Chain A
């Protein structure tokens, strides 16, 4: 793999890590399988691309984040107020957002950003022009990690984390779990939309189906990070998610480099996540088999 390709992989990894952190918030902190991610990622990209075509690449980023936040809020309200199962609530919002995304993109399935201003080409002629593709996402990612790390230790951050652990206990200390879930899913999808917004400008296009399977990629990143880098402390968990996202990108890049057709990407993603989710069962199965075989050896003796 060439150095340039590696740099591209790292850059993508940094941007996708933002999405993975969002998935970490919903899956791990709130313990909710939030499928909104697939469409809030696209929503972020769509909003970002449209604002770029209107000449506002910088405004595009916060606008996309606000849109993503609303998407997460809707899922939260379906769950808390209308008592729809979280999985279904996410799917409903995902479905509905598909149409919304097409509307945002003015009915087109694809918005190219060739020759449009983006945050990446806006600093042309300055000394950081060559580094901007990784510097800007990196600064953003570091900022998000620091803010998340601090936020999750505030009073509200504590009850947010406890909501996924034990919502009964959160209500018993006088906090409305509907509020924590509303805010938590909002935050999660804000990060996802931020990631989508950056990807659209980085790749110079937005596509209505670019978010398909995004939740699985995010989950893969979270799990890979946990397995390899551990879950000992809060900071470590956050960094593990980021490294997991990078590693996932790297694995995909190597697979593509070795000749895997890009159309097989989703199948490989699904396989990786299945393996990661099943790892406790597989481990246990192997252990018990070893135990059994050891016992049968004893019998023969």
Chain B
């Protein structure tokens, strides 16, 4: 479904702050595969996702999604096939517009954005059903502005918006990192449910090693812009957080000293 070949991205090229954020990454995802990505700060996880989403253009390499070469597509064009949820709950929704209006925009993805009526009666019913399935009671607040929702509710809504038109690829960039533990758990459950229900090809960046092993079907670990570990199947089922930390030390040649990774 997704095929990345030799992808590299350098920031501030030629300056004193030059940073090779993604270094010759190869990654292939099969249809329906749910991959979790872990790694320390500056490992290149977010940059990799942003390169796939088109926020940054890759310096080298190619990105092929469902046999379309999207390497040089602008961000908005890739979005027709890629659903995204960001770390910042404010980023995924328009705060001054209603829940219904936000959903309507996501629902019109890939369709012409002309002078058609934004929210049709039939759509409203569909939105209500979708929202009801989130189990947060949002179906009764459809006319309310998104600005009134909590971070967890917003991320749940953004998840729904990212998947209401089935994407070929779902990108989750630490989408629970800004939430309190119980909201984070709720959004993670919801993520699994939606991914399984639609059989979505998914890349989820997380700082939570336990969650990385618990959710999804495959886990990769990044360090200094490269993939240093890629496990799935039997090997992954027997993996524990301790073994993962040990593996990290051996593969990267340094101690895992990232508090955020260890504590969570």
Q: Which residues of A contact B (CB under 8 A)?
A: 151, 153-159, 161-162, 165-166, 168-177
Give chain B interface residues in 101-131, CB to chain A under 8 Å.
101-102, 104-106, 108-119
B217, CB-defined interface residue at 8 Å: no
Q: Is the CB of A159 within 8 A of B117?
A: no
Q: Is the CB of A173 within 8 A of B115?
A: no
Q: Is the CB of B76 within 8 A of A159?
A: no
Q: Which residue of B lies closest to A165 (CB)?
A: B94
Q: Is the CB of B105 within 8 A of A158?
A: yes
Q: Is the CB of B115 within 8 A of A156?
A: yes
Q: Is the CB of B80 within 8 A of A174?
A: yes
Indicate whether A166 sits within 8 Å of B90 (C-beta atoms), given known contacts A154-B115, A155-B114, A159-B113. Answer: yes
CA distance A165 to B102 in the complex (A): 11
CA distance A203 to B74 in the complex (A): 48
Q: Chain B binding site: helix, strand, loop or mixed by DSSP?
A: loop
Q: Which residues of B contact A (CB under 8 A)?
A: 74-77, 79-80, 84, 86, 90-97, 101-102, 104-106, 108-119, 161-162
Q: Among the listed B76, B91, B96, B161, which residue makes an inter-chain contact with A176, where contact means beta carbons less than 8 Å apart?
A: B76
Q: Is the CB of B108 within 8 A of A173?
A: yes
CA distance A173 to B219 in the complex (A): 27
Q: How far is the CB of B51 from chain A (nearest CB, A)?
A: 15
Q: Which residue of A lies closest to B91 (CB)?
A: A168
CA distance A155 to B111 in the complex (A): 10
CA distance A161 to B162 in the complex (A): 19
List residues of chain B with CB within 8 A of the CB of A161. Answer: 94, 96-97, 101
Residue among A153, A154, A174 facing the most chain B CB atoms (10 A cut-off): A174
CA distance A153 to B80 in the complex (A): 22
28 contacts between A and B (CB under 8 A): A151-B115, A153-B118, A153-B119, A154-B118, A155-B115, A155-B118, A158-B97, A158-B118, A159-B113, A161-B97, A161-B101, A162-B102, A165-B96, A165-B97, A166-B90, A166-B91, A166-B93, A166-B94, A168-B86, A168-B91, A170-B76, A170-B94, A171-B79, A172-B79, A173-B109, A174-B80, A175-B105, A175-B113
List residues of chain A with CB within 8 A of the CB of B108. Answer: 155, 158, 173
Chain A to chain B: the 9 pairs with minimum beta-carbon distance, closest first: A165-B94, A162-B94, A174-B79, A174-B80, A171-B76, A176-B76, A158-B118, A154-B115, A174-B109
List residues of chain B with CB within 8 A of the CB of A174. Answer: 76-77, 79-80, 109-110
List residues of chain B with CB within 8 A of the CB of A156. Answer: 113-115
List residues of chain B with CB within 8 A of the CB of A175. Answer: 76, 105, 113
Q: How far is the CB of B174 from chain A (nearest CB, A)?
A: 16
Q: How far is the CB of B98 from chain A (nearest CB, A)?
A: 10
List residues of chain A with CB within 8 A of the CB of B117. Answer: 153-155
CA distance A158 to B111 in the complex (A): 14
List residues of chain B with CB within 8 A of the CB of A153. Answer: 117-119
Residue among A158, A166, A169 facing the most chain B CB atoms (10 A cut-off): A169
CA distance A151 to B118 in the complex (A): 9
Q: With A153-B117, A153-B119, A175-B105 given, can you name 4 additional A-B contacts, CB distance below 8 Å?
A: A155-B113, A161-B101, A165-B97, A169-B91
List residues of chain A with CB within 8 A of the CB of B97. Answer: 158, 161-162, 165
List residues of chain A with CB within 8 A of the CB of B96. Answer: 161, 165
CA distance A158 to B99 in the complex (A): 12
